[in-house]
Amino acid sequence: MSTIAAWLPVGNFPKVVLFVSVLAVYNSIQCFIPAMRLTHRIYARKPKEATALAARLMGLWTLTSAAIRIYTAYNMNDPACYNLCMLTYMLVTFSFTTEIFIHKTAPLSSPGVWPALLIATASLTYMVVYRDFYLGPEAIAAAFSHTDL
C-alpha cells in the first residue's frame, strides 16, 4: 500500500468527502487573501455587499464545514459526524439558494455557485440514500468494535 493510500479514508464516498473538504480549505484560504478573493465575482449582482468582512466570515464558515467533513470522511459510521456533515450540505444549499432567489446577490452562473450547489445537492442526496449503509446497526457495530480506543 502506498503512503498516500494509507492516509485516505476507506470507501469511495468518504474519499469524495475528503476531496471536497480539501477544496473547501483552499477556498477558505482564498477568502483571507485579498488578491485571491472571489466573493465579489460570486455575488456579482451586488458586489458592494461582498465586503472584506463578508469574505472573511465566508472563509471561516467554509473552513468550519471543511473540518466537519474531514472528520466525517474518517468517521462515516458515527451518527453525530454523519448528521453534522449532512447539515453542512443543507446549509450551503440554503445559503446559495437564498442568495440566488431571495437576496438576488449571486447569479447561478457565478464561479463557485453552481459547483457548490451541485456538490452539496449530490452529496446530500447520496447521504440520504445510503444512510442505512453507513449508519445501520451492522455498520455502527463494525465501526465501534475495535478495542484500541
C-alpha 50/C-alpha 62 separation (Å) is: 16
Counting Cβ atoms within 10 Å, is residue 102 exposed (0-12), middle (13-18) or buried (19+)? exposed
Percent of the chain whose predicted confidence (pLDDT) is above 90: 66
Spatial CA neighbour of 11 closest among 76, 81, 57 = 76
C-alpha 6/C-alpha 99 separation (Å) is: 40
Counting Cβ atoms within 10 Å, is residue 99 exposed (0-12), middle (13-18) or buried (19+)? buried
Per-residue pLDDT, averaged over 25-39, amounts to 89
| Residue owning grid cell 472571489 | 38
Q: Give yes or no for a contact between 24 and 66, defined as CB atoms under 8 angstroms apart.
A: yes
Split at pLDDT 50, 70, 90, the class of 149 is very low
Per-residue pLDDT, averaged over 96-103, amounts to 95
Residues 9-24: pLDDT tens digits? 888 999 999 999 999 9
Per-residue pLDDT, averaged over 50-65, amounts to 93
pLDDT of residue 1: 52
- Domain coordinates of the chain in residue numbers? 9-143
Spatial CA neighbour of 88 closest among 116, 107, 49 = 116
Split at pLDDT 50, 70, 90, the class of 41 is confident
pLDDT of residue 125: 97
Spatial CA neighbour of 125 closest among 99, 80, 93 = 93
Residues 123-145: pLDDT tens digits? 999 999 999 999 988 776 766 66
Spatial CA neighbour of 26 closest among 15, 14, 16, 38 = 38
pLDDT of residue 23: 95
C-alpha 12/C-alpha 28 separation (Å) is: 24
